[in-house]
Amino acid sequence: MKTIGLIGGTGWISTMEYYRLINQSINERVGGLNAARCLLYSFNYADVAELNQKNDHVGILRLLIETAKKIEGAGADCIALCANTLHLYADDLQKEISKPIVHIGTATANEVKKKRLVKVGLLGTKTTMEEGFYKNRLNESAIETLIPDVRERAFIHRSIFNELFKNVFNDKTKEQFLQIMTSLQQQGADGIILGCTEIPLLIKQSDIDIPVFNTLEIHVQAIIDFALDQ
């Protein structure tokens, strides 16, 4: 079994899910008393948020490089960024480290392809929805991406940081998310990507009648596939 290197804390709520699901799934696959060989570095998200507020992308990348190298030095065989948005920096980070990054966008695109879908809606932070790093991975697999309108994107982004990151989940927010998802479906989306690892804590497959892609669970399975590939 390979050693998994996790960079979390962005935010800590979903990082707990990563840790729980990785260990639970490893045990289910291998059995006995087996659990993951895992190294976890958890950011104080306030540090990352401060860099975001300054639009300091170089500072965030530098922080990721320093952290990933620490985890590599401690024996990790791969690096996994426990947040969709951090994958904005994944390609640049990969150039600076020797171990492979298990990319959440690639893993998600593979799952969408398995469903034979060609057009999906994407929810997440404004960065995830508006920048090309996620959509490009989907486009490489001939998958078209639809995103909410400007007002809806602002609502989703605000809800992630003001509620979900703080472990707050309320019915009104969920109802608005479902309305946005229904709108994307009416625009032709065959499925919806929950492209923030906190959103699956609010929205479930049972809430809508088209496929929902839980990127946290998808990423976890890709990480485990790497760890158990001998």
Q: Where are the domains of the chain?
A: 3-103+218-228, 105-214
Rounded distance between C-alpha atoms, residue 7 and residue 86, angstroms: 10
Number of residues written out for the chain: 230
Rounded distance between C-alpha atoms, residue 168 and residue 100, angstroms: 34
The pLDDT > 90 percentage for the chain reads: 83
Which residue is listed with tokens 């496929």? 211
Say which amino acid occupies 62.
Answer: R
pLDDT in tens, 45-56: 899 989 988 989
Q: What is the pLDDT of residue 230?
A: 58
Q: How far is CA 155 from the centre of its chain?
A: 19
Q: Structure pTM?
A: 0.89
Domains 3-103+218-228 and 105-214 are alike in CATH topology: yes
Angle (CA) 83-87-92 rounded to 5° is 145
Rounded distance between C-alpha atoms, residue 122 and residue 191, angstroms: 9
- Give the pLDDT band (50/70/90) at residue 72: very high
pLDDT in tens, 210-225: 999 999 999 999 999 9
Rounded distance between C-alpha atoms, residue 15 and residue 44, angstroms: 12
Decide if pLDDT at 203 tops 90: yes
Q: Facing residues of 120 across strands? A: 145, 191
Mean pLDDT of the 95-121 span: 95
CATH of domain 105-214: 3.40.50.1860
Topology classification of domain 3-103+218-228: Rossmann fold (3.40.50)
